[in-house]
Amino acid sequence: MRGEPRTKGSPLLDYMEIFMEAFVAEKKIDIAAEYSVSVFGGFDAYLKKIERTLDVSVNNRGDEVSVSGSENAVDKAIGVLSNLLELAKRGNEISEQNVDYALSLSFEDKEDSIVEVDNDYICRTVNGKPIKPKTLGQKNYIDLIRENMIVLGLGPAGTGKTYLAMAMAITAFKKDEVSRIILTRPAIEAGEKLGFLPGDLQSKIDPYLRPLYDALYQIMGAESFQTNMEKGLIEVAPLAYMRGRTLDNAYIILDEAQNTTPAQMKMFLTRIGFGSKVIVTGDLSQKDLPLGTVSGLDVALKVLRGIDDIGIAELTSLDVVRHPLVQKIVKAYEEYEKKHSDQFENRRTDRRNEGRTDRKKDSRADRKSDSNADRRYDSKADRRNEGKAPRKADKRSR
C-alpha cells in the first residue's frame, strides 16, 4: 500500500543501497608539504581540475589527502595524484599539460604510463632543463628515431616534432655519432607573398629558418651555435640548395615537409649518404602550397610506408604540449575539417549517383528513339515495297 514502508528485500531499496555505496568510497594518499605546491598547483588549481574531471571530492589535511566519490573515480584520482607526486619527486615542474595528460590516460587505464614516459631522457638545455618526451606519442617518436635511419614525424602544431628532432640531432653531434648537423626547410610563406627581401643570401633565408634557430639557441646556446656554424659543422639552408649533394655522416632534419613538392621530396631523400640519419617533420593540416599542388609529404607516406629502416610517427592532438588552449584549438579544427570532409564526400557521392541516374535515363531515351526510328524505317520500307508491287504487275500486263 501507499503508506506502508518497503521491506528490506525490495528491489528499489536494494538499488538505492548499491547506488549510495557507489558514492561513499574514500581513499587517502600522503603528499609531503614540499611537493604539495607542485602537485596541487597554484590555489589548488590542479586539485580542482581533478575534482571536476573525475567527479570526486578532494580534501587536504596536512600531509594527508583524502579522495571520496564513486569507487572507480576514486581509484583514477588516486592514480593521477600518485603519478604527479612521482614526477614532482623526480624534480619535474608539474604543468597543466601534465595534469591534463594524466587525466586523459586515466580514462584508458594507462595512468602509470606517464611515469614510464618520464624515464626517457634526451639531453639538457643550456639552462640545465632536461628535455624528455611528455606523452606516449612523443616517446614512440623518439624510439623510432633511435631505431631507424629515416623517420617521418607527422602531427599538428605544438606536438614537439621539430624540437625533439633537434634535441636528438644535437645529442648525436655531442656524442660524435655524426660530424655535422644539416637543417633545411622549404622557403614558402604562410599564405602571403613577402616579395624580395633585402640583404645577402643568409639575410634572405633567415626569416624562414628562424624556428630552427630558436630551438638551437635554447638547446645548444647562442655562442656554441655560432662557433659550430662558422666551422661549417652546423648548416642551415633552404631546401632548394640541396640538389647535387651527397650528405655523409650527418644528422639531417627537413622541417615543414608538407610544403615540399613530390620532386623536392624525392630529391631530398636521395641525398642521404653513409652514416647519416634523416628526420622529416610536417603537419598535413597546414599546407602553404599553391592550390591544386600535391604535397611531397603525402606522396612520400604512400611510397615509403612498409620499407625497412623507415619509421613513421603519427602524433595527435593528445600529444600537444603547448598551452592547453592550443590542444583545444587543434582538436576543434580536426573535428571541423572532418565534418566538412564528410559533407564534401557525401555531395560527391550524391552527384555521382545523380550522374548515373541521368545516364540511365539518357540510354533509355536513346534506345526508345532508336526503336521508334526502326519502326518508322520499317513502315517506310513496307510502303515502298507495296508501291513497287503494283508497278511490276502493270509492266507484266503490258
Total count of domains within the chain: 2
Last residue of one domain, picked from the residues 285, 310, 335: 335
In a domain, 2, yes or no: no
For residues 142 and 89, state if they share a domain.
Answer: no
The pLDDT value given to residue 222: 87
For residues 163 and 139, state if they share a domain.
Answer: yes
Q: How far, in Å, CA of 185 to CA of 163, rounded?
A: 14
Any idea what the CATH number is for the domain that residue 35 is in? 3.30.1370.10
Last residue of one domain, picked from the residues 115, 141, 172: 115
Show the domain range for 157: 122-335
Phi, psi of 307 (to 5 degrees): -80, 135
For residues 174 and 64, state if they share a domain.
Answer: no
Cell of 63: 600531509
Q: Which residues pair with 153 in a beta bridge?
A: 281, 313
For residues 131 and 177, state if they share a domain.
Answer: yes
In a domain, 280, yes or no: yes
Q: How far, in Å, CA of 398 to CA of 318, rounded?
A: 106
In a domain, 343, yes or no: no
CA 358 to mean position of chain CA atoms: 41
Q: In this predicted model, what pLDDT tens digit does every residue of 62-114 receive, in sequence order? A: 889 999 999 899 999 999 999 999 999 998 889 998 999 999 999 888 878 89
3-state class (DSSP) for residue 45: helix
3-state class (DSSP) for residue 291: coil
Q: In this predicted model, what pLDDT tens digit does every residue of 117-154 receive, in sequence order? A: 999 999 999 888 899 999 999 999 999 999 999 999 99
Any alpha helices (H) in 107-200, and if so which ranges?
113-118, 136-147, 161-174
Give the residue with greater pLDDT, 125 vs 385: 125
For residues 158 and 50, state if they share a domain.
Answer: no
In DSSP notation, 7-18 reads PTT-HHHHHHHH
Cell of 387: 508501291
Which residue type is seen at 171? T
For residues 77 and 210, state if they share a domain.
Answer: no
For residues 109 and 127, state if they share a domain.
Answer: no
Last residue of one domain, picked from the residues 335, 366, 382: 335
Cell of 111: 595512468
For residues 323 and 186, state if they share a domain.
Answer: yes
In a domain, 141, yes or no: yes
3-state class (DSSP) for residue 179: coil
For residues 145 and 289, state if they share a domain.
Answer: yes
The pLDDT value given to residue 292: 86
8 Å CB contact between 99 and 52: no
Extended beta strands in 186-284, E state: 234-238, 250-254, 277-282
